[in-house]
Chain A
Amino acid sequence: MSPLQAVPLFIAIPVAIMVVLGSTLTLIGALGFARLTSFYDRLHAPTLATSWGTGGIIIASALMFSVIEGRAVIHEFVIGLCIVVTTPVTLMMLARAALQRDRAERSPVLPEDMQLRPQHPEPPAQG
């Protein structure tokens, strides 16, 4: 427990708040992920974990190690950057795969106008 005692109180409180916030958001996201009934709804649940869930814990970790080591420790933000850039790729590819499979089997989950790839947008694109 020695490294934790080296943290002064005015740093410990924001660190604790950030950690609790981040993990609670991740837990809420996972709870929703387990409870929601449709795949497209479940697609939204992990974004809670990848936005402020990760953000809170990363900020807390950077703050705490900066104080303990007495220099700016910001390598946690590399993980943040990695998550921010890679999550959209994963989710987009999964969504497209799900959409294609649902269209191929004419799933009733999709509304009528989604059964085919959109061909003509309602208003002509403004140049």
Chain B
Amino acid sequence: MTRLVPHPVLSASLVLLWLMLTRFSLGYLILGTALSLVAGWAYSALHPAKPRVRRWRVIPRLVATLLWDIILSNINVARLLLTEGRGTRRSAFMQVPLKITDENALAVLAIILTATPGTAWLEYVADTGTLVLHIFDATQADHYRDVIGKTYEPMLMEIFE
């Protein structure tokens, strides 16, 4: 089973993607399945270490939190861009010590921070575990520190580590 389908999640999402791009029919299902199997073999030849997801249950909660956060920060940043905070807005650089070290968890954290307007990921220093961020509104520094440290990091640790 693992030799035939080395990356079940990747193959399943490729089939889903194939069916989304075409329309659902038996022929496309078979073609898509064949293609995704080949892609799975090719991928396992390229990249032997596969990401491990420990707990799938946490993912819906993460997505829901993220969507809500994105809406809120969209409103926030749009308001700041239009009014410029009446000349009082200042941006800031910020350094956050991170506890997570897993590559995949870091990649997901990068997507989360970039998708939320107001925070930009500048760099991650692997030897010290420091994340350098740029935030649009300096007064929200503590809020972002809280959100990263207390909301997203525990969830990502639960999922990946």
Q: How far is the CB of B101 from chain A (nearest CB, A)?
A: 9
Interface size on B, residues (CB 8 A): 36
Which one of B1-9, B27-35, B43-51, B69-77 is at the A interface?
Answer: B69-77
* SS class, residues of chain B in contact with chain A: mixed
Q: Is the CB of B115 within 8 A of A87?
A: yes
Q: Is the CB of A47 within 8 A of B121?
A: no
Q: Is the CB of A99 within 8 A of B97?
A: no
Question: Which residue of chain B has the shortest Cβ distance to A122 in the bound complex?
Answer: B97
Q: How far is the CB of A27 from chain B (nearest CB, A)?
A: 10
- How far is B123's CA from A117's CA once the two chains are assembled, in angstroms? 9
Q: Is the CB of B77 within 8 A of A48?
A: yes
Q: Which of A31-48 contact B (CB under 8 A)?
A: 31-32, 35, 38, 40-41, 43-45, 47-48
Which one of B15-23, B52-60, B139-147 is at the A interface?
Answer: B15-23
Closest 8 pairs between A and B when the two form their complex, measured CB to CB: A32-B81, A88-B114, A47-B117, A121-B97, A43-B120, A44-B136, A118-B130, A95-B122
A44, A95, A123 interface centre (most CB from chain B within 10 Å): A44
Q: Is the CB of B74 within 8 A of A88?
A: no
Q: How far is the CB of B39 from chain A (nearest CB, A)?
A: 16
A5 contacts the other chain (CB 8 A): no
* SS class, residues of chain A in contact with chain B: helix
Against A, the Cβ 8 Å flags (1 = close, 0 = not) of B101-120 are 00000000011011111111
Q: Is the CB of A121 within 8 A of B129?
A: yes
Q: How far is the CB of A120 from chain B (nearest CB, A)?
A: 6
CB within 8 Å of B: which residues of A?
A: 25, 28-29, 31-32, 35, 38, 40-41, 43-45, 47-48, 50-52, 71, 74-75, 77-78, 84-85, 87-88, 91-92, 95-96, 99, 110-111, 113-114, 117-123, 125-126
Question: Which residue of chain B has the shortest Cβ distance to A88 in the bound complex?
Answer: B114
- How far is B95's CA from A125's CA once the two chains are assembled, in angstroms? 13
For B77, the chain A residues whose CB sits under 8 A away are 44, 47-48
Q: Is the CB of A110 within 8 A of B93?
A: yes
The residue from B74, B122, B125 contacting A51, defined by CB atoms under 8 A apart: B74
For B119, the chain A residues whose CB sits under 8 A away are 44
Given A32-B81, A88-B110, A123-B97, residue A52 in contact with residue B74 (CB < 8 A):
yes
